[in-house]
Amino acid sequence: MKTIKGPAVFLAQFMDDHAPFNSLEGLCKWASDLGYKGIQIPTWEIRLIDLKKAAESKTYCEELAGTVGSYGLEITELSTHLQGQLVAVHPAYDLMFDNFAPDDYKNNPKARTEWAVNQLKYAAKASRNLGIDVHGTFSGALLWHTFHPWPQRPEGLVEMGFKELANRWMPILNTFDEQGVDVCYEIHPGEDLHDGVTFEHFLEATNNHKRVNILYDPSHFVLQQLDYLEYIDHYHEFIKMFHVKDAEFKPTGKKGMFGGYGDWKDRAGRYRHPGDGQVDFKNAFSKLTEYGCDVWAVLEWECCIKSPEQGAREGAPFIKKHIIEATQKRFDDFAGSEIDENKLRNILGI
């Protein structure tokens, strides 16, 4: 068993134009003062990191890690969620997802995809230069618009979709493999990798590429009404990142899983601050510890009610409370004895 590391915080949702949320040093001091031990850095935020420079310069990475370390923090992982999304975009979503790309690549899906692929390759090298061996991202989606198909899906569509998705990711995965870094896909509605079955489809399509792994976030499974604890039983060997985020699902006679096009607070399924929703974090932390998952527990604030400031203040002690110091001995060791083969035979009557 392994003790989960933490608490840490994902900085993406806390970025702002006002101090301390507009600079790396400001956010480091803020996070450290709140009791966090690590930060997860969104690489699309140029105020936090120059991703290309980090890929090309170990000196820059040493300086970056030194700045973070001066506040008693570690960089837990880098994130390319927005860039990963752009590796595979169905044309129906082109206009909306253009917001994730620099202006030079908008209205040009092919160029945008090439930019995204290069960003992921930079992230692989930057992670290695920082001494980090896991990385968080999204898979993107070519099939999501068919998840509840009407009209019905033609035969072979799903297989073709995952084959194409794998073709786009294989050069990226190979770059990560060269750097010795695992790609952890956040299993998430809106992505082609959104549950266990779709993760397995992708794993098979990549010929079980050893760098294909999972960022586990139970909140996304509450919204799907998927057993998020049993998920750990099935996929613990792939879980190498962990977002601590809560959710609740409260269907009514008027709305259910699909949400009725409501705003987040008006949906039956909505994200909440850890401890305010329905996720059983006590058992989630227990299972991850039991299976020896070597992960950081990283707060991701996405609550539709509680402010990010309050969420951040409460997040560190919440995570700290749930981290289990994995035992290195059994409770009945005191009653043990040295191995005596003759004694064993006598006990068994042989």
pLDDT at residue 337 is higher than 90: no
Least confident segment among 55-69, 80-94, 153-167, 331-345: 331-345
Nearest to 235 by CA among 248, 217, 222, 219: 217
Nearest to 229 by CA among 288, 289, 308, 170: 288
The whole-number pLDDT of residue 305 equals 97
Which H or E element spans position 215?
strand 212-216
Rounded average pLDDT over 85-112: 97
The whole-number pLDDT of residue 278 equals 98
The whole-number pLDDT of residue 331 equals 66
Let me know the angle formed at the C-alpha of 186 by 118 and 26, rounded to the nearest 5 degrees.
75
Rounded average pLDDT over 182-187: 98
Summarised one tens digit per residue, pLDDT across range 215-262 is 999 999 999 999 999 999 999 999 999 999 999 999 999 999 999 999
Summarised one tens digit per residue, pLDDT across range 268-288 is 999 999 999 999 999 999 999
Let me know the angle formed at the C-alpha of 79 by 289 and 146, rounded to the nearest 5 degrees.
90
Summarised one tens digit per residue, pLDDT across range 18-75 is 999 999 999 999 999 999 999 999 999 999 999 999 999 999 999 999 999 999 999 9
Range of the structural domain that residue 202 is part of: 5-348
pLDDT at residue 334 is higher than 70: no
The three-class DSSP label of residue 136 is strand
The whole-number pLDDT of residue 332 equals 66
- In this structure, what CATH number is given to the domain that contains residue 210? 3.20.20.150
pLDDT at residue 328 is higher than 70: yes
CA dist., res. 148 & res. 224, Å (int): 13
Cβ-based burial of 80 (10 A; exposed 0-12, middle 13-18, buried ≥19): buried
Number of domains in the chain: 1
Summarised one tens digit per residue, pLDDT across range 134-149 is 999 999 999 999 999 9
